[in-house]
A and B are shown apart, each in its own frame.
Chain A
Amino acid sequence: MFAKACHPAHRARVNNAADAFTKQICEVIVGKADAVKLAVACLLARGHLLIEDIPGVGKTTLSQALARSLGLAFQRIQFTSDLLPADILGNSIFDRELQQFVFHRGPLFSQVVLIDEVNRATAKTQSALLEAMEEDHISADGVTHELPQPFFVIATQNPQHQIGTFPLPESQLDRFLMRIELGVPDRASERAMLLGMDRRAMLKELKPVFTPETLLEIQTAVRQVHASGALLDYLQDLLDASRQRHSAGLSPRAGLALLHAAQAWALMHDREMVLPEDIQAVGVSVMAHRLGHDLDQPGLSGRTLADALLHSVPVP
């Protein structure tokens, strides 16, 4: 809304593409524009996304809509407590004709991986995901296999008090750029949904908005959004404050995540520079799941802590 002075031509194009992408998903997920925008920002910032909410509010629908609209190959994995690492990574099977073991790639070898109910799997399987998310490759039987590029994990999970869940370890949570919550839709949106088309059918209709090149262009543009010294001061003040207040403060990786998400958010709002407001807009989604483990304040959710942080650290 302010400071739109410099308009490089391609930024406008990039911005239009991002807008179209958001719009398309909003047609499927009604009344959740904010959550959708955050999810889009997360993907544009090349981050993995975690969607947490009670069953039945459209987590899977959102993740599928995102995957389809990205125009990338995608796979869906349903996590269960008896799922083993080999089930997602792949197996080496002896080939009689070749007289040797051949690696058969698992469902993880895909550009977009939708993981449903990620916290239903045991720690063993979850840690198999770790390497894939951070390093973009996996190791099986002592051999390293590169994953396709780009590589996104969009995971959904149920709140941790639900039966049969294994809480994700902090190291795993830190690898998700954002965690968003959908929540129940408001009355009007729910009515629209009840009256409207079947969501499953709508998903099948979705056409990719991007070519892979466009996606790459947008992602490059995100990193070029300017973050001034004053903004980085604010960002670092936030990090410092979190470290002073909480036993497990924000990691440097969290700082990077915050910056990239804010850059994506600024780009989506057609700005060539990051403002403190961008950080505040993405702040809760980026920080909440990282702060939720404060042993000193067990009663407070990460969302409350992140919110308190944003409402107390002064903008320099």
Chain B
Amino acid sequence: MSTLRKIDTRIPRTPLLWLAAALVFTVPPMFGTLSPWVPALFLVTLALKFWMEPKGYRLRLALWKLILTTAALAAIFFSYGSLKGIEPGVSLIVVLMSLKMLEAHTAREFHVMVMVAWVLCLCGFFLAQDLSIALCLLIAFALLLVALLQFHRGPSRNTWWPPLRTAGILILQALPVIALLFLFFPRVSTGFRLLMTPSSSAAAGFSDRMSPGGIASLASSTEVAFRAEFPDGKIPRADVLYWRGVVMSAGAGMEWRARQAPAALSPSALRPPAGETTRQRITIEPHGEHWMFALDWPVQPPPGALLAPGNYLWSYQSIRKPRRYEVRSFAQHPDKNLRQRERDALLEVPPSISPRARELAQSWVAANADPRVIVISALQFFRAQGFRYSLSPGEYRKNDLDEFLFERRVGFCEHYAASFATLMRLAGVPARVVVGYLGGEYNEFGRFLLVRQSDTHAWCEVWLPEAGWTRVDPTSVVAPDRVNLGFDSFLERRGPSAETNTGAFARGWARQPIFTNLRLAWQTLNYTWDTRVLSFDAETQEAFVANVDLTKVPPLQLSVSVLLGAGALYALFVGGRHFRTRSREDRVKGLYEKFCRKAARRGAVREAWEGPAHFANRAMTLLPNESERIGRLIDAYLKLRYSAQVPAGVFEDLTREVGAFPRGKQ
């Protein structure tokens, strides 16, 4: 038995290595989307294969295969609760591929593995479509090609470069076809974004409720929230980059929430005011909620959204795929009137607020009843009473305003915004909380602003007579740099004493100009990929096709482009011919091989090791009718291939003689 085991190893090591390399590159999209055990099992079996193959071990018994397959099916069922759907389906393919690796040992099975691996590449795109994933899968695809090439080249040629080059050439040749298919192949309306699984687009970012600790938990998330371009070229200063997300006007001390399904503002409020505007083109990442972001103040909602009370954009459908829209923001708030009913609603405070907080607010009113002075007093309170800004302020007992205001005095932006708004209401000033993003990282290469989840911020708006709604950011009093520098720089500025000092060193390195530039370039590429490739859906395609409609092009332009195109093709043709004459040796060889094929059909088969003169002699005796032609032919061939100087016309002789050599019957 043991001797038997060692004999039938039939998959050579080099192609197996290429295949393994390719398989490793198919793994990244699986992490984070599939149950972690699935890619882990995949990698383990891959490693196992390399341990087993030299020893000749493999999965043989049908019973074992049956048991393992059943176990895998059960594991998938228990992990996902079903065998239907994208993720269980992909998991199934991955697991079966792992088992196949354990049993594979013939040439046929090697082919099966390569084919399944190609399917895995495709499945990778079902799971994620980032640029990095796409690059990974492209590498995997190319490596599979190399593995297949290497497998067919046989074991005698173990150099790694030729199959790699051939694979590269094949892919380059495929590029025009890829481009054509990309541009013109009809597609479903979602473009390349395939989000068939609601679970994978789980809510990212903040929700319609704000309670202590909610935003702080986002502070470490580097996920992209959205990207904004400024088509007019006006980039606002960092300290006014307040991106409105949602306005929360129902408050209870430290906890605030927004309206579930807001009604649209009355059309009168949508009248654009005079003054400066900032145009923004925003590409939003899916977050599962309804908010769409804009700088202060948006007045006209983009298609598919409404302007909710509080002047924030509210999408009719929750955002589950990336969306691109354009919005204009006005420097001035459009509405200068606050009706009594609205005013009452904005002054509501729950009865649970403690007398101590009420007294504090009343003391400011007693000092000066002017709302502006009250706001200043409140900010003065935060500044003077030793409040601290902290990412991890610790747990507060639910809704305990007093603990924050009078005892601990440590908080994150949501603590300040919530307590400030509550205090304003207690002092009789209409106030609300706005949750959104502050700042962002401007990318010089791509000319866009990248806003991450860690830029999430909460601030307040108070109603001042005459001025209307006015933004007040109590956090800026406690930690001014947070507003002026942006979140990352703010953390860095705080130095090693900051809570996140573990990453301070790495962060310092990441701030080196070269890394910053690389990072920005990478972000730009990602952005381009998202906006140009992934968002190329049916609509965009239609618009594109309509654009290239030839009937609309002026005839002169059309003829010029046709001429130019033909010229380019001709240049390519001539270049190609030039290139070919340089490798005439290959053409001579090709002609000789053609002659050998023709001779073989007539019974004179050349052995691979046989030299040309030797073969010609044999062929002349085997095919006496053609002996003269063979003599002339081989004479020309030997001169072309082996001699130092080739007289003119010999190549043409060879071409003619090979062409004239009768093909004969099979």
- Contact assessment for A310 and B609 in the assembled complex, using a CB-CB cutoff below 8 Å: yes
A299 contacts B by Cβ under 8 Å:
no
A6 adjacent to chain B (CB < 8 Å)? yes
**Set of chain B residues within 8 Å of A144, measured between Cβ atoms:** none
Could you tell me if A228 and B611 are in contact, using CB atoms closer than 8 angstroms? Answer: no
Chain B CB within 8 A of A196 CB: no
**Chain A residues with Cβ under 8 A from B551's Cβ?**
none
Contact between chains at A315 and B608 (CB < 8 Å) = yes
| CB atoms of B643 and A229 under 8 A apart | no
Task: State whether A313 touches B643 (Cβ < 8 A).
Answer: no
Shortest beta-carbon distance from B266 to chain A in Å? 85
Q: Does A127 sit at the interface, judged by CB under 8 A?
A: no
Chain B's closest residue to A2 (CB) is B635
The minimal Cβ–Cβ distance linking A234 to chain B, given in whole angstroms, is 8
Does B616 make an interface contact (CB < 8 A)? yes
A272 to B647, CA, bound (A): 14
User: Which residues on the B side are within 8 Å of A228 (C-beta)?
Assistant: 641-644
* B539 CB–A CB distance under 8 Å: no
Q: Which residues A207-241 have CB closer than 8 A to chain B?
A: 226, 228-231, 241
Residues of A within 8 A of B614 (CB): 277, 280
Interface residues of B in 633-648 (CB under 8 A from A): 634-635, 638-639, 641-645, 647
Are B635's CB and A312's CB within 8 A? no
**Residue in chain B with minimal CB distance to A234:** B611
Query: Of all chain A residues, which has the CB nearest B647?
Result: A5
Chain A residues, Cβ within 8 Å of B634? 2
Out of B156, B616, B641, B643, which one reaches A6, CB within 8 Å? B643
CB nearest to B641 among chain A residues: A230
The interface bits of chain A over 276-287 (1 if a CB of B lies within 8 angstroms of the residue's CB, else 0) are: 110010000000
CB within 8 Å for A275 and B585 given contacts A2-B634, A228-B642: no
Bound: A226/B642 CA distance, A: 8
Contact A2-B644, Cβ < 8 Å, known A244-B156, A314-B608 = no
In chain A, positions 257-283 with a C-beta closer than 8 Å to chain B are: 272-277, 280
Whether A314 lies near B609 (C-beta < 8 A) is yes
- A315 CB contacts on chain B under 8 angstroms: 608-612
Q: Which residues of chain B come closer than 8 Å to A275, judged between CB atoms?
A: 611-613, 638, 642
Complex Cα–Cα for A241 and B611 (A): 17
Chain B residues lying within 8 Å of A314, measured Cβ to Cβ, are 608-609
Contact B611 A280 (CB under 8 A): yes
**Size of B's binding interface in residues, CB under 8 A:** 24
B610 nearest in chain A by CB position = A315
Find chain B residues with CB under 8 A from A2 CB: 613, 616, 631, 634-635, 638
What separation, in Å, do the CA atoms of A241 and B156 have in the docked complex? 8
Closest to A244 in B: B156
Tell me if A311 is interfacial: C-beta within 8 Å of chain B. Answer: yes
Contact indicator A231/B642 (Cβ below 8 Å):
yes
> Is B642 within 8 A of A230, CB to CB?
yes
Q: CB of A1 within 8 A of chain B?
A: yes
In angstroms, Cα B609 to Cα A276, docked, is: 9
Query: Across the interface, do B643 and A272 meet the contact criterion of CB distance under 8 Å?
Result: yes
Question: B residues within 8 A CB of A231?
Answer: 642
Size bracket of the A interface: 20 to 34
A3 interfacial by beta-carbon distance below 8 Å? yes
Rounded to whole angstroms, the CA-CA distance of A313 and B608 in the bound complex is 7
Chain A residue numbers with a CB within 8 Å of B589 are: 230, 316
- Chain B contacts for A244, CB-based, 8 A: 156
- Do the beta carbons of A272 and B612 come within 8 Å of each other? no
Chain A residues with CB under 8 Å of B609's CB are: 310-315
A266 → B minimal CB distance (Å): 9
Q: Are B638 and A3 in contact (CB under 8 A)?
A: yes
Which B residues from 377 to 404 make CB contacts under 8 A with A?
none
Shortest beta-carbon distance from B584 to chain A in Å? 12
Give per-residue flags for B286-301: 1 if the beta carbon is below 8 A from chain A beta carbons, else 0.
0000000000000000
Q: Min CB distance, A216 to chain B, in Å? A: 22
A229 near B613: Cβ-Cβ < 8 Å: no
A-chain residues with CB within 8 Å of residue B617 when the two chains form the complex: 1
The residue on B at minimum CB distance from A227 is B642
Known: A2-B631, A2-B635. A277 touches B641 (CB 8 A): no
Out of B608, B610, B643, name the residue touching A226 (CB < 8 Å).
Answer: B643
Shortest Cβ distance from residue A195 to the other chain B in the assembled complex, whole angstroms:
35
Closest to B615 in A: A315
Contact with B along A7-50 (1 / 0, CB 8 A): 00000000000000000000000000000000000000000000
For the complex, give the distance between the alpha carbons of A140 and B616 in Å: 55
Shortest CB distance B416–A (Å): 75
Residues of A within 8 A of B643 (CB): 3, 6, 226, 228, 272-273
A229 neighbours in B (Cβ, 8 Å): 585
Considering only residues 294-316 of chain A, those with a C-beta below 8 Å from chain B are: 310-316
Are B641 and A3 interface neighbours, CB within 8 A?
no
Contact string, B586-619, partner A, CB cutoff 8 A, digits 1/0? 0001000000000000000001111111101100
| Chain A residue nearest in CB terms to B636 | A3
Q: Given known contacts A230-B585, A314-B608, A315-B608, is B613 in contact with A1 (CB within 8 Å)?
A: yes
In the assembled complex, the Cα of A229 lies from the Cα of B585 at a distance in Å of: 10
Contacting residue for B644 out of A272, A310, A311, CB 8 A: A272
Contact A6 B611 (CB under 8 A): no
A10 vs B612: C-alpha distance in the bound complex, in angstroms? 27
Q: In the assembled complex, which residues on chain A have CB atoms less than 8 Å from the CB atom of B610?
A: 315
User: Quick one: CB contact mask for B517-537 with A, threshold 8 Å, 1 for yes?
Assistant: 000000000000000000000
Q: A3-B642, A275-B612, A314-B609 are in contact. List 12 more A-B contacts (CB 8 A).
A: A2-B613, A2-B616, A3-B638, A3-B643, A5-B635, A228-B641, A228-B643, A228-B644, A277-B611, A277-B613, A311-B609, A312-B609
Q: List 7 A-B contacts (CB under 8 A).
A: A2-B613, A2-B631, A3-B638, A6-B643, A229-B585, A231-B642, A276-B611
10 shortest A-B CB distances, which residue pairs? A276-B611, A314-B608, A226-B644, A277-B611, A273-B643, A3-B638, A273-B642, A228-B642, A230-B641, A2-B635
